[in-house]
Chains A and B, each alone.
Chain A
Amino acid sequence: MIKRSIILVAMMCVGISAQASERISAVGSTTVLPVISQAAEAYHKTHPDLTITVSGGGSGVGVASVIQGTAQLGMASRETSSEEQAKLDGHVDNIVIASDAVAVVVSKAVYESGIHQLSIAQIAAIYHGKIKNWKELGGLDKRVLVIDKEASRGTRHVFAKAVLGSAHARAEGASIVSGSNNEEQMIVSRSDNAIGMLSNAWLNDKVRGVDVVVSGTAIAPTIEHVRDGSYPIARGLHVLLPHSASTATKDFVKFLLSEQGQAIVKQVGYLPVH
């Protein structure tokens, strides 16, 4: 009996001493997630007493979690709306840590059949259901698989604002609705007729970004075009830091804005702040 209670107390002491390290959770946009994830790993090496758990869910989830206090750090890939800002004003800081481009992506087969550029009007027509087959645009003879995103995702907000007119515009031509960047990338790479919206860091051999035609010039979704402002569907990547966050969390955000943090931003494929 005594032996058991000693073991129990010893275990509790170990448990309590293990709590000396701080754990915070970062929740939100899957676009910002790779940066925070890699930065957290790098930061943990020099500051082992801070453990950061990073999870996705989308910009909407990130903002809602910070408002409700369930996450210590929010990640958003879009501007906050006026209602959200009203709830955040005064006790949460909105810090831009990077910029990126929202690329309009097509499957490899579509790209290789000749679709290398699309105008905003054409993309809008596809998403409104007016253009149903790739051959109408000069590509292969296949129906268009239009991939929309969940309405709360930051990528969709930015895309809808630039292409469909307003951040919450309906896309009547949508075929399926996907969630995170990873899910959308997987669906586009496994099909041969898809069009979707993805952050430029997710482009690969099977998922190709088309150039967007603005006033006659085709502009590729690259970092240089985000830097000079010519790519029309670009956005800042935000981190939401509550005023009530611990000093360790605030130091982590400072790390994100430092040279090391911005080097990670560049490595992931986004544009650093300066």
Chain B
Amino acid sequence: MVAVASMIILLWFLWDASSAYWYQFGISSVWAAEWYPYESLYGLLPAIIGTTWAMIIAMLIAVPCGLAAAIVSSEIFPTAWQGWMRLGMEMLAGIPSVVYGLIGLWVLLPWLQNSLDLLTGHNLLAAGMILSLMILPTMMVMSQDALRLIPIEQREAAMNMGMHWNQRLLRVLLPQAWPGIRSGILLGLGRALGETMAVMLVVGSLDRVPDPIYNILEPAQTLTSRIGREMGEAAFGSMHFSALMACGLVLAVTAICLSLLAQRKRSFV
């Protein structure tokens, strides 16, 4: 109850703070492509595209890897190794996000720049890769928990029926572990959408729509990076402030919609 109430209060607060912006610029500002606060242009499109790409890249890398790590750890590894792997993942999950940003800046960006022969390593691919590193531990830990919860009788029954290892995994174990895996995915999604510090340092912060739209090798901007960079100087109550609050509102609404979408699929499993 408290959770739902606080969510409603949060949404109301964001709406109230950004209403001046929506009334003046309307919903069409969501696909306006120019963000120049000093010229009163507040288009959200570049940042929305940036956030979407960073999230997609992060999920595409982290979800399969995390799931695979969980499967290997709980089904294949001997029990002794499971503890070490779990410990490693939990340590990774505890590292502050700004440290990931610094690692990205120091190690990942020069490597990307040199191996792909780019002008600069600051781009959406770098942001996605850093985010995937942050989501991976959560994904793996939650999937592993979900898999371990399945009673051993299920695996024995599958072996008795003569099922191959992969059949046992795909037909018996994963469907039962799916709710836990889905929670892991949702948590990871939330973090990918909302991570500010690390993304701000590596994404390039250039308010420009990628050209062409799938070009993830150019510097770009995300909603969180924009809020992080510009919130300090936006005078409280000004249009710039409302525009940044609108970015926050878009983020919150996106996160809620995605989690609702994922919950609805439950009825089809």
Contacts and interface: CB of A to CB of B under 8 A. Distances in A.
B236 interface: yes
B236 A176 contact: no
Contacts of B204: 175-177
Quick one: which of A60, A150, A151, A178 has the most chain B CB within 10 A? A151
B220 to A, nearest CB: 10
Interface string A55-66: 001101101110
Contacts of B38: 151, 168
Interface in B101-146: 105, 110, 119-120, 122
Nearest to A190: B110
B233 A57 contact: yes
Contact of B120 (A58, A65, A148, A191): A191
Given A145-B120, A174-B206, A179 B229 contact: yes
A193 to B, nearest CB: 8
Contact of A175 (B120, B229, B230): B120
A87 B233 CA distance: 14
A143 B230 contact: no
B230 A64 contact: no
Interface residues of B, number: 21
B165 interface: no
Contacts of A143: 119
Nearest to B39: A168
B206 A67 contact: no
A5 interface: no
A61 B233 contact: yes
Contacts of A175: 119-120, 204, 206, 219
Given A68-B235, A170-B36, A190-B110, A176 B230 contact: no
A174 B219 CA distance: 10
A197 to B, nearest CB: 15
A174 B205 CA distance: 11
A193 B117 CA distance: 13
Contacts of A177: 204-207, 219, 229
A38 interface: no
A68 B236 contact: yes
B233 A145 contact: no
Contacts of A94: none
Contacts of B236: 64, 68
Interface in A60-92: 60-61, 63-65, 67-68, 87
B219 A58 contact: no
Nearest to B233: A60
A51 interface: no
Contacts of A145: 119-120
B232 interface: yes
A238 B235 CA distance: 19
A152 interface: yes
B234 interface: yes
B175 to A, nearest CB: 45
Interface string B181-216: 000000000000000000000001111000000000
A58 B229 CA distance: 10
Interface of A: 57-58, 60-61, 63-65, 67-68, 87, 143, 145, 148, 150-152, 168, 170, 174-179, 186, 190-191, 193
Given A64-B235, A152-B232, A176-B206, 20 more contacts: A57-B233, A60-B232, A60-B233, A61-B233, A63-B233, A64-B232, A64-B233, A64-B234, A67-B235, A68-B236, A87-B235, A148-B206, A152-B230, A168-B36, A170-B36, A170-B39, A176-B204, A176-B219, A177-B205, A179-B205
29 contacts: A57-B232, A57-B233, A58-B232, A60-B232, A61-B232, A61-B233, A64-B232, A143-B119, A145-B119, A148-B206, A150-B230, A151-B37, A151-B38, A152-B233, A168-B36, A168-B39, A175-B120, A175-B206, A175-B219, A176-B120, A176-B122, A176-B206, A176-B219, A177-B204, A177-B207, A177-B219, A186-B105, A191-B120, A193-B119
Interface of B: 36-39, 105, 110, 119-120, 122, 204-207, 219, 229-230, 232-236
Please give me the 3 A-B residue pairs with the lowest Cβ-Cβ distance, nearest first: A60-B233, A168-B38, A61-B232
